[in-house]
Chain A
Amino acid sequence: MEPERWAQVSRIFNSAIELDSEARDAYVERECGADESLAHEVKRLIENHQKASAQDFIAEPAFANQSSSESKTLAAGQRLGPYLILQHLGTGGMGEVYLATDARLDRRVALKVLSPELAHDKRRMQRFQQEARMASALNQPNILTIFEFGEINSLNLLATEYIEGQTLRQYLRSHKLKLSEILDISIQILSALDAAHEAKIVHRDIKPENVMIRSRDHVVKVLDFGLAKPTESGSSTHASDLEGDTQYKTAAGTVLGTVNYMSPEQAQGFAVDERTDLWSTGVVIYEMVTGQMPFKGRTKSHILVDILENEPVSLSEVSTFAIPDELTRIVDKALAKQLDERYQTAKDMLIDLRKLRKQLDVEAEMRRSVGPALVAKSQTTMSIAGTPTVETGGLQTSKAIKYVILLFAAIVVGGGIWFATKLRHVQEPPSQTTAAPVTKQSLTYSITVQKYRNNKPFEEPFQLAKEMLFERDYQIRLNVNGPKSGYLYILNEGPHEKGKAAEFVVLFPSPKSNGGSALINDNERIHIPENSWITFDQEKGTERVWLVFCQKAVADLEPIRGFVNDETKGLITDSSVSDRVQQFLRSHSTDKPTVEQNTEQRQTRITSTSDILVHAIDLEHQ
């Protein structure tokens, strides 16, 4: 097959298999047009896709012995009370974990089936249930939410929030963390601990495996609060028994079980309190900074001895990059062997880390500011932009930028030229009427900003919902998701004089995100573009970004797909198409959606009561 042909086949195939079977054929025929052999090719592939997934074709890796499928208690497609099992996610110390949907609320959950060993130990099960109940009362954004705990078909199940992302362990393996990111993760772990400790819940097993980083926004979630208890293994709690302790037997797929994060009091089998979590967090920070463990040894016994007897090599000596003395002090204090010399509360440690982050932010801002008038303003901006959303892919793909769309006006401040733009929402929320209309469409979006200097990425990208000061060379990415699946179209309307025809650039669908498809899945966050950035050009005027979202494909907008190629770079060059687009947008923008900004999560939610949601974001110059 020719490469162009294959590209065509794969594009249509990828979009088609996301559709219902009824819509699928019509879609394929529409996309293939008169090309019957292309349609045949795609349909045959779809048929084989269905067979392959029904038969679990090559679902298991070659190098797994046959028992791996038997070891799973539940199969995909199986129903268990209100839960429909979708996929086996993994097997951990506590049991197997599945992705499932809860039919009652139509939401995705992570469903843990507790291992029979745990379920058969009555005393531990009681403790477990009690703590699960307590932990489920914790309501803090950095704590994984527990929905339900119970028994169905004699299986003990725990349903929790499902997080799409990586554990900090996986993240550490594939990313080199920057100081700001380390602080950010540490602060979020401690925020979780602070809330839990307030509720008198001690985690007891803080380690990178129990910390998740959500892919879409890098929010940190601490898992298994009050659930994981390496020190509480029935009758045996003494350190000398630990080597034979089944709790440390590594679960399938993990190479090492670990005692590395244990506090001295845990290592000795003494009673533990909140301060044990602060020690373990200290170990995690040490590891994030240096890539090494503070306490090491060939065997578990050696590690335990190291924890009890030795001082770790100072953070500043091991670190491969310059770190502030204050961070060394914080980690040293967390790793104080004497309980009364350690941080006494999560709040104290949290405050110190926040202070440090703020101080570093201010210093960085002072260094790059060009005029004193701007310093104050920029600092507030930085505090909005606290959480960096680092995407390593974006840093190397600046050359891949194809869209040149938005513009900036210059204002001269001091010696430097600044470009300031304010993002303003054109539509205000409609006034509330007594009978609330039914919500039909909803989308959430945010904007990720990457600063560039001298054509090089500068600082980590950060996310915003609302407004900030833009400088020349800033580049952006749009992040969009919604609770329901549907067709998304995003257009940029360039500046134009009144009465004159508008110029439109297609930002989405695009081959650079979502595999070229306009159909986005429910709750799936789409990045536009996926791995590169949208650049701003520097003409004067007002730019507008249109978001259109509908459950069905929008016929008036479908023709814009024809302009998504390297030649036009998304610019709609056919005036009959852009006229049709303009007409569509004008006629549909009368139903104004409700706009809610969440400054905490740095995102904006728009909801509409009509079938087609149309929303415009204005990029206005100050």
Chain B
Amino acid sequence: MNKPPPSKPHEITELLEKWSGGNQAALDQLYPLVYEELRRLARSYMRREPKGHTLQTTALINEAYVRLVDQHSVRWQNRSHFFAISAQIMRRILVDHARQHLQAKRGGGAKRISLDEVMIVAKERSEEVLMLDEALANLARLDPRRSQVVELRYFAGLNNSEIASVLQISENTVMRDWNLARAWLYQKLSETA
């Protein structure tokens, strides 16, 4: 069965509280803790799930949340924050894996990576993930909210209603933001291709 979470729920909950309260240093401490947990869960998911089973990022983040955050003392706003930070982390994990995977395929990979790590991002999607990550960084400079909508949907796998509640906007706005951001990203990627 599952190992116990690596850190005390209270610690993460407190850090979330502090971060929600505007303490940026708390985010620096929070980041590695959540990162470790998500990465560990992602790997165990890959081992656990039979081939052909749909793997959902939201399920993963939900599980991380349940395991990391002290449910009794957490305020509901913190959940939104948790999802926002998890989306960023998932993005980093996925981009790192995609990069390693492409290096390994080209034979230039300096370090060996285990099979289950490679499998997290499907082979044919590695390139898409890397290109999108870059284009999304450009979009974030132009329009941070719309870029966050894409991050939450593409990297964290959230649906429109979940995104709406994380960003505190309506579902209609999420849909419109998504259409615009996706068109913009498509345009950027087809320009560079």
**A531 CB contacts on chain B under 8 angstroms:** 168-170
In the complex, A83 has a CB within 8 A of chain B = no
B179 touches A61 (CB 8 A): no
In the complex, B106 has a CB within 8 A of chain A = no
Residue total for B at the interface (Cβ-Cβ under 8 A): 58
In the complex, A252 has a CB within 8 A of chain B = yes
Task: Knowing A64-B54, A515-B176, say if A174 contacts B150 (CB, 8 Å).
Answer: no
Task: Knowing A14-B179, A52-B183, A255-B66, say if A174 contacts B94 (CB, 8 Å).
Answer: no
B176 touches A253 (CB 8 A): no
A6 touches B182 (CB 8 A): no
Residue total for A at the interface (Cβ-Cβ under 8 A): 50
A33-56, CB under 8 A of B: which get 1 and which 0? Answer: 000000000001110110111000
Task: Knowing A10-B180, A291-B71, say if A64 contacts B79 (CB, 8 Å).
Answer: no
| Min C-beta distance of B65 to chain A, whole Å | 9
Give A6's nearest chain B residue, CB to CB: B142
Query: Which of A65-73, A228-236, A355-363 lies at the interface?
Result: A65-73
Q: How far is the CA of A62 from the CA of B132 in the complex (A)?
A: 10
In the complex, A17 has a CB within 8 A of chain B = yes
| Min C-beta distance of B171 to chain A, whole Å | 7
Residue of B57, B162, B165, B169 with most chain A CB atoms under a 10 A cut-off: B165
| Min C-beta distance of A393 to chain B, whole Å | 6
**A292 CB contacts on chain B under 8 angstroms:** 71-72
Q: How far is the CA of A393 from the CA of B172 in the complex (A)?
A: 14
Query: Which of B89-127 touch A at CB < 8 Å?
Result: 90, 94, 119-122, 124-125
In the complex, B192 has a CB within 8 A of chain A = no
Give A524's nearest chain B residue, CB to CB: B172
In the complex, A175 has a CB within 8 A of chain B = yes
In the complex, A13 has a CB within 8 A of chain B = yes
Query: Which of B11-19, B20-28, B29-37, B151-159 lies at the interface?
Result: B151-159
In the complex, A123 has a CB within 8 A of chain B = no
Query: Which of B52, B161, B179, B187 sits near A44, CB closer than 8 Å?
Result: B187
Task: Knowing A170-B161, A173-B76, A253-B59, say if A61 contacts B180 (CB, 8 Å).
Answer: no
In the complex, B44 has a CB within 8 A of chain A = no
In the complex, B143 has a CB within 8 A of chain A = yes
Residue of A17, A63, A392, A531 with most chain B CB atoms under a 10 A cut-off: A63
B59 touches A393 (CB 8 A): no
In the complex, B85 has a CB within 8 A of chain A = no
Query: Which of A51, A67, A255 sits near B52, CB closer than 8 Å?
Result: A67
A57-98, CB under 8 A of B: which get 1 and which 0? Answer: 110011111111011000000000000000000010000000
**B7 CB contacts on chain A under 8 angstroms:** none
Give A91's nearest chain B residue, CB to CB: B54
B56 touches A253 (CB 8 A): yes
A57 touches B186 (CB 8 A): yes
Task: Knowing A17-B179, A255-B62, say if A170 contacts B162 (CB, 8 Å).
Answer: yes
Sampled A-B contacts (6; CB under 8 Å): A45-B187, A58-B185, A61-B157, A170-B161, A173-B76, A392-B168
Besides A17-B179, A61-B57, A392-B168, 12 other A-B contacts (C-beta < 8 A): A13-B183, A14-B176, A45-B184, A63-B60, A64-B57, A67-B52, A174-B80, A253-B59, A255-B59, A255-B66, A292-B71, A531-B168
